[in-house]
Amino acid sequence: MPRYFYKAKSVKGEEKSGFLEAKDTHQLSQKLHAQGFVLIKAQLSEELKKQKLNIDLPTFGGVPLTEKMFFVRNLQVMIAAGLPLPRAINALSKQVKTPEFKKALSEIKDKVVEGKSLSEAMSYYPSVFPQLLRSMVKVGEESGTLEKILGVLSAQMGKEHVLRSRVQSAMIYPIIIICAMIAVGALMLIMVVPKLAETFEDLNIELPVTTKIIIGFGTFVANYWHLLLLGLIIFIIFLMRILKIQAVKKISDRIFLRVPVISSIIKATNSAYTTRNLSSLIGAGVSLPRSLEITAGTLGNFYFKTAMNEAAEKVRKGGKLSEVLASYKGVYPLIVIQMVAVGEETGETSAILSELADFFEEEVSTTTKNIASVIEPVLMIIIGITIGFFAVSMVQPMYSMLGSV
């Protein structure tokens, strides 16, 4: 018997949805009528699965944050100018570059024309529109302040983009240097070391241990570089997969929170995301427990995410957010707990969280700049030691040979 996903409503206005088996929609309607509900929408579960597959599998790389910023900012301008929502979305769908985003916007426009709200239409595309964005749009629709909410979202996404850029720029420099060092080292091992090894073999001289190690490693790399490359790719894929396992992620996130320099960036970044998102959601009128749940979904670190989820549960039961966060002093800085307490006393939680977000974003900027200035001399020392070790190991046999002449 076919299985249907349904949406129904009672005479009192109570909405209900779920799955039921029925011969056809007529029988489904009768089953719901017996329960006091009227069928509004029905869809075969097989069709729903196909639809979800088309929606939930994004193209490689996903939709860039900059394109989402473009959409939100321009949608606000168009709504302020009095342009109908379907027409505004249609115009923006023709301007975005990412195929996944273009397709999603085109289909959202059709759903809005059919009578769905913008937030409801966006909910079909969770990989494109995160929960935070959908929730705020829904609040804007319900309160009649969609234009204002889009403005808040646009400003928040701009701040998020700046924060991400600062962290990424701090990581790019050392990554480039390390990759260049590995590439040069590999070329020397493949191109130079084997020729020197042949020369030493022809001269029939006793080689130091360090020289033997470099020649052996260079010969191995020259003969099996393709296997090493394949092994590296497999290792990276394995690492990416295993880090998604909750138990492993929990351990890795704990380690990162204890590494001196990295921990300060992680704490400041997650604190900035927490305070900025909570400020926007509370300011938009979303309840505090729901705001905490949505914010938890935006955080990458396991312990910050857990703290927000547990805080949502305790606040829902009547606890104060500042008191709940006090039990997570090892995760959130003391200033967050203190300022949240001030916000609760004054009723200005949203404004205080916004100021806190500015503070942490500036702290991330300062920390990343300091890291760049520290990493540069450290990398130079490592490169110097590596080159010195290689040069001494390869030149030492020649000096030994000249000394014996």
Residue 369 has pLDDT above 80, yes or no: no
145, 281: one domain: no
Return the percentage of the chain with pLDDT > 90, whole number. 2
SS3 20: strand
Mean pLDDT of 158-177: 79
More confident residue, 261 or 301: 301
What whole-number distance in Å separates Cα of residue 276 and Cα of residue 278?
6
What whole-number distance in Å separates Cα of residue 8 and Cα of residue 134?
23
What is the rounded average pLDDT for all residues in the chain?
A: 80
The verdict on residue 368 lying in a domain is: yes
14, 153: one domain: no
Under DSSP, the state recorded for 124 is T
Strand 15-21 and strand 37-44: the pairing is unpaired
Rg, Å, the chain Cα set: 29
Under DSSP, the state recorded for 333 is -
Residue 46 has pLDDT above 60, yes or no: no
pLDDT value, residue 404 = 56
Q: What are the φ/ψ torsions at residue 184 (nearest 5 degrees)?
A: -65, -45
The verdict on residue 397 lying in a domain is: yes
The verdict on residue 164 lying in a domain is: no
Under DSSP, the state recorded for 19 is E
336, 238: one domain: yes
Domain that holds residue 24: 3-56
More confident residue, 28 or 82: 82
321, 365: one domain: yes
Q: Whole-prediction pTM value?
A: 0.63
